[in-house]
Amino acid sequence: MSRLPKWLIALLTLALWRRGKAEGSEQEDGDGRIVPEGSADRRAESWVIALLFAAALCAAGFVVVYAADGLGNRTQLFGIALAVCFALIAVALIIVARHLIVTEHLEEDYPEPGGDPEEQEAVAEVIRESGSRFTRKKLLLAAGGTAAGAVSAAAAAPVLSLGPLLDTSRLQETPWHRGRGLVDDSGRALLADDIETETFYTAYPEGATEEEKDQIGAPLVVVRLDPSALRLPPERARWAPGGILAFSKICTHASCAVALYRKPLYAPTEPRPALVCPCHYSTFDPATGGQVIFGPAGRPLPQLPLTVDGGLLRAGGPFSAGVGPGWWGVRRKRSI
């Protein structure tokens, strides 16, 4: 209990002392003001006061929303209350800055270009003479250069993570090889007779581990077209038994999954069948072996030759080209 009066006395003393100091400093300054005196703007002042009170009301509204249970859309009300409150404070501060704080524009000339020659000479001399304790200057310079070079190399090293520079054979590897069966997401084998036109299927390599399924070369998109509608290059004539075509599901532009298949219900008035990537709308024509007919993809969707073995769909060989987005030399090599 005895603490309270002590605190009161301390506060009172502080207040009186500060007041005395303020009066003293005003007397000292006299007419030699730094900032010119501005005229009073009572209107702006009233606006600021009103805005600040309004902001306080909004903040109180926030508390009310917080306290009142059973209000709908509380998150939105919180947001609105806070946003309006801050907006009002911001407007008040803008008015303070523009109408109530005394401002003046002062111009200061840039220093002459070149500066004072004597001063420059002095600086050069300071630098020259500061080096008088060095005896093996060349060795020191070499050591400094080595350190700088090593730091730069360390900074540039992560660039290698962007991909192999010379040995790109790893990028060409896919789980597909001649004779490997096609299965669906749950591991059931795809039967050639079950593949219908008008729809699309996602396929994975038979017996693939989860890790293998995650590889960029693993997923396939399988569609069936009327064999008479196919316009495949001559060397791929036997790649699509019964009109069943398999392509890498990974777009050659930015490696999104080619998850869209558009197929017309009535050919005369509708666009032709196409595989479309949902990311940037690269559009591939399955009938011509995955040629790009629209969009940013730079090369065709790699096709996987198929064979039918006892009714089961199997890969007839590797992909027609490297899967996934472009890299150094992607066009030159075939996948293995």
Please give the full DSSP string across 4-39, using - where no structure is assigned. Answer: HHHHHHHHHHHHHHHHHHHHHHHHHHTT--SSPPPP
Q: Which stretch binds another protein (CB under 8 A): 136-144, 198-206, 225-233, 240-248?
A: 198-206
State the nearest-atom distance from the C-beta of 246 to another protein, in Å: 16
Q: Which stretch binds another protein (CB under 8 A): 13-21, 30-38, 91-99, 301-309?
A: 91-99
17 residue type, one letter: W
State the nearest-atom distance from the C-beta of 102 to another protein, in Å: 14
Distance of CA 143 to the CA centre of its chain: 40
Work out which of 58, 182, 222, 276 binds another protein, going by CB under 8 A: 276
3-state secondary structure of 257: strand
Name which of residues 202 to 221 contact another protein (CB under 8 A). 202
Q: For tokens 């196919």, what's the residue?
A: 230
- The answer to whether residue 51 forms part of the interface with another protein (CB under 8 A) is no
3-state secondary structure of 162: helix
| 170-184 exposure pattern, b = at least 16 Cβ within 10 A, e = fewer | ebbebbbeeebbbbe
72: how many CB neighbours lie within 10 A of its CB? 6
Q: Which is nearer to another protein, 45 or 184 (CB)?
A: 184
Q: What angle do CA 328, 333, 336 make, to 5 degrees?
A: 115
Q: Roughly how many angstroms between the first and final C-alpha of the chain, as a whole number?
A: 88
For residue 248, the cross-strand partners are 220
State the Cα–Cα distance between residues 319 and 173, nearest whole angstrom: 10
E runs forming strands in 85-141: none
Q: Which is nearer to another protein, 75 or 132 (CB)?
A: 75
Q: Which stretch binds another protein (CB under 8 A): 129-137, 273-281, 315-323, 326-334?
A: 273-281
Mark 154-193 with x for binding to another protein (rule: CB under 8 A) and - for no binding: -------------------------------x--------
State the Cα–Cα distance between residues 24 and 29, nearest whole angstrom: 9
State the nearest-atom distance from the C-beta of 112 to another protein, in Å: 21
Q: Which of 309, 308, 307, 335 is nearest to 322 (CA)?
A: 335
Name which of residues 58 to 77 contact another protein (CB under 8 A). 75-76
State the nearest-atom distance from the C-beta of 193 to another protein, in Å: 10
Total residues at interface with another protein (CB under 8 A): 36
Q: Which is nearer to another protein, 25 or 269 (CB)?
A: 269
Work out which of 6, 33, 42, 105 binds another protein, going by CB under 8 A: 105
- The answer to whether residue 86 forms part of the interface with another protein (CB under 8 A) is no
State the nearest-atom distance from the C-beta of 130 to another protein, in Å: 41
Distance of CA 55 to the CA centre of its chain: 36
Q: Which is nearer to another protein, 257 or 327 (CB)?
A: 257
Asked if residues 222 and 200 have their Cβ atoms less than 8 Å apart, the reply is yes
- The answer to whether residue 247 forms part of the interface with another protein (CB under 8 A) is no
Name which of residues 288 to 307 contact another protein (CB under 8 A). 294-295
7-13: list long-range contacts, CB under 8 Å, 24+ apart.
Answer: none
- The answer to whether residue 281 forms part of the interface with another protein (CB under 8 A) is yes
| 50, 58, 247 from 197: Cα distances, Å | 72, 62, 15
State the nearest-atom distance from the C-beta of 238 to another protein, in Å: 26
Work out which of 270, 329, 331, 334 binds another protein, going by CB under 8 A: 270
Q: Which residues bind another protein (CB under 8 A)?
A: 75-76, 79, 90, 94, 97-98, 105, 185, 194, 196, 198-202, 257, 259-266, 268-271, 274, 276, 278, 281, 283, 294-295
